[in-house]
C-alpha cells in the first residue's frame, strides 16, 4: 500500500508542477487557446483523481466502509484523521468539480476552471503534506 500511495503522491506533485506552470496564463489566454484550456482541464482532472485514488487506498487499507461518493471520500479522510476535518470539508467540492470535468466537460465554466487553476494547487499541496504526515505517523 505504501508504495502505491507514494507513487500516486509523486504523480500528483508532477501534476501540481504542471498546473503551476499554467498559472502564468491569463483568463483570456486560456479562453482563446483551446489547447491551453484542454491542458488546464486535464491536469486538474488527473490531479483530483490522484487525490481521490489516494483516499480510496487509505480507506480500503484502514478497513473502513467504502464511501458512496467521491465527495464523501474527503469527508471520511477527515473523520479518520488523515486530513484535518476543516480541510476535508473545504476540499469536498473538488470532488464535484472532478465530476464536471469528466462528465460535463462541454459545460465547464471558464471562470470556475480558471479559479481552480489559480487557487487549487495550494490545497493539492496541503493534501500531499497531510497524507505524508499520516503515512509517517502510521509508519507505513
Question: How many Å apart are CA 116 and CA 61, to the nearest integer?
Answer: 30
> Taking the model in full, what pTM does it have?
0.92
pLDDT tens column, 5-56: 999 999 999 999 999 999 999 999 999 999 999 999 999 999 999 999 999 9
Question: How many Å apart are CA 126 and CA 45, to the nearest integer?
Answer: 17
CB 60 within 8 A of CB 66: yes
Cell 479518520 identifies what position? 80
**How much is the pLDDT for 85?**
96
Over residues 129-133, the mean pLDDT reads 96
Question: How many Å apart are CA 15 and CA 10, to the nearest integer?
Answer: 9
CA–centroid distance for 3 within its chain: 19
**How much is the pLDDT for 139?**
74
CA dist 50 → 8, 24, 33, 34, 119 (Å): 6, 23, 26, 24, 18
pLDDT band at 105 (very low <50, low <70, confident <90, very high): low
CATH superfamily of 2-138: bsu32300-like (1.20.120.580)
The average confidence (pLDDT) of the chain is: 93
Q: Which residues contact 127 (CB under 8 A, 6 or more apart)?
A: 12, 51, 54, 83, 91
Q: Write the DSSP assignment of 40-93 as a string of letters.
A: HHHHHHHHHHHHHHHHHHHHHHTT-PPPSSHHHHHHHHHHTTSS-HHHHHHHHH
Amino acid at each position: 500500500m505504501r508504495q502505491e500511495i507514494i507513487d500516486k503522491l509523486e504523480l500528483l506533485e508532477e501534476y501540481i508542477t504542471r498546473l503551476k506552470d499554467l498559472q502564468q496564463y491569463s483568463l483570456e489566454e486560456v479562453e482563446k487557446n483551446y489547447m491551453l484550456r484542454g491542458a488546464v482541464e486535464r491536469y486538474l482532472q488527473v490531479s483530483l483523481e490522484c487525490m481521490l485514488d489516494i483516499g480510496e487506498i487509505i480507506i480500503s487499507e484502514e478497513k473502513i466502509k467504502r464511501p458512496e461518493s467521491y465527495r464523501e471520500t474527503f469527508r471520511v479522510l477527515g473523520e479518520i484523521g488523515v486530513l484535518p476535518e476543516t480541510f476535508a470539508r473545504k476540499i469536498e467540492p473538488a470532488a464535484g468539480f472532478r465530476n464536471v470535468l469528466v462528465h460535463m466537460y462541454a459545460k465547464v465554466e471558464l471562470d470556475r476552471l480558471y479559479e481552480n487553476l489559480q487557487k487549487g494547487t495550494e490545497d493539492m499541496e496541503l493534501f500531499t503534506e497531510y497524507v505524508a504526515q499520516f503515512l509517517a505517523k502510521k509508519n507505513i
